[in-house]
Amino acid sequence: MPFPLQPGSTIGVLGSGQLGRMLAAAAARLGLRTHIYADAPGPAFDIAAETTVGRYDDWAKLTAFAHTVSVITYEFENVADATAQHLAKLLPVRPGPKALTVAQDRLVEKTFLSDLGIAIAPFQPIASAADLAAALPTGPARAILKTRRLGYDGKGQVGIDATTDVAAAMAEIGGAPTVLEQRLVFAREISVLICRAADGQDVVYDIPENTHRDGILRQSVVPAHVPPALTAHAHAIARRIADALDYVGLLAVELFDLGDKFPVTERLIVNEIAPRVHNSGHWTIDACAVSQFENHMRAVAGWPLGDPSRHSDAVMENLIGADALAWPSLAAEPGCCLHLYGKNEARAGRKMGHVTRLRAK
């Protein structure tokens, strides 16, 4: 094995979005090069040392890409099994294919978490309108019907209650295999950003408290309003998941905190996991010595993990669609770290950038 990679080595990254862009920037700090492979050019292309545009099932192109790099990682969890397996035959893919298999199918993920003894919302697979009709919540209870695959930022989800028109809901979800998940009443959403090295060591970041709107993350505030014991419990849950996946790299675990009416060990429900750097960790670029992006690349490269401690409190806000047009005033704001992803077109719902506002701890 070539690990740790020497400075000057090249890390392959699947995906050209803003996460790939920030991964490339983080690698560059360490003197590591990146080669981005994606099915279309994107924000990551402008700062990568090398780029390839190719389909994710162009085996010859993927092989040629693999021959230019020392290890491969990815910025999105929907890398096809066949793609990951093709590349894994040629060189290490980190995180490994198991994390992808688990994370890209909600039913597999929920079963995996449940089997680990981790609390999740009650769920059941839904294959037909009849299944859904039989599973409709009663009274004021609510649920969410989610596609098993390819949902993100609130896409592929339909709210369900006792009055739902079953046929319309199935039509809206497009007939894809789904999971029906009970909608919980919670006090807050938080996430754990854990980075695990190949030797099993890990580092964890302070926990952000996350606010979504229209299914899209709007804001992450650090620190979250949770007691130290809950933080420790959340970290332990994330560690159990990362260990079970023999994970290498940064893993994000999204959780619901049911609130302080519950004992610490019963407050946390895992919502979902993401086998990649995560939007709720963008604040780490500006508020930590070593960001989630850099620690991910360190883990992938077999380097020692870096200090995740937070030197400042932080509020991260996504700039979505036209929000980014406010860049001149955001640029001038004291304590404001502005990040724009270099996307040309500010479409509604598109993540164009983010700001992290720093405050003294």
Extract the tokens encoding 124. Answer: 């059941």
Could you say whether residue 53 binds its own copies (CB under 8 A)? no
Q: How many residues belong to the site for its own copies (CB under 8 A)?
A: 50
Could you say whether residue 41 binds its own copies (CB under 8 A)? no
Q: Which stretch binds its own copies (CB under 8 A): 1-9, 82-90, 133-141, 171-179?
A: 1-9
In the complex, what is the shortest distance from the CB of residue 36 to its own copies, in angstroms, rounded to a whole number?
Answer: 12
**Contact letters (x/-) for its own copies, 306-345, by CB under 8 A?**
xx-x-xx-----------x--xx--xxxxxxxxxxxxxx-
Nearer Cβ to its own copies, position 17 or 353? 353
Q: Which stretch binds its own copies (CB under 8 A): 57-65, 96-104, 226-234, 282-290?
A: 282-290
Q: Return contacts of 219-222, CB within 8 angstroms, 24+ apart.
A: 219/315, 219/316, 219/317, 219/318, 220/191, 220/279, 220/280, 220/281, 220/282, 220/283, 220/314, 220/315, 220/316, 221/314, 221/315, 221/316, 222/283, 222/287, 222/310, 222/313, 222/314, 222/315, 222/316
What is the distance in angstroms between the CA of the first residue and the CA of the last residue of the chain?
42
AA identity, residue 184: L
> What dihedral do alpha carbons 192, 272, 109, 265 form, nearest 10°?
60
Nearer Cβ to its own copies, position 38 or 113? 38
Extract the tokens encoding 92. Answer: 């290490």
Could you say whether residue 42 binds its own copies (CB under 8 A)? no
Applying CB under 8 A, among 39, 46, 58, 131 the residue interacting with its own copies is: 46
**Contact letters (x/-) for its own copies, 242-281, by CB under 8 A?**
----------------------------------------
- Rounded to whole angstroms, the Cα distance separating 51 from 260 reads 49
Applying CB under 8 A, among 2, 4, 122, 215 the residue interacting with its own copies is: 4
* Residue 73, phi then psi, degrees to nearest 5: -130, -175
- Rounded to whole angstroms, the Cα distance separating 37 from 12 reads 7
Positions touching its own copies (CB under 8 A) are 4, 7-8, 21, 24-25, 28-33, 45-49, 286, 289-290, 298, 303-307, 309, 311-312, 324, 327-328, 331-344, 353, 358, 360-361
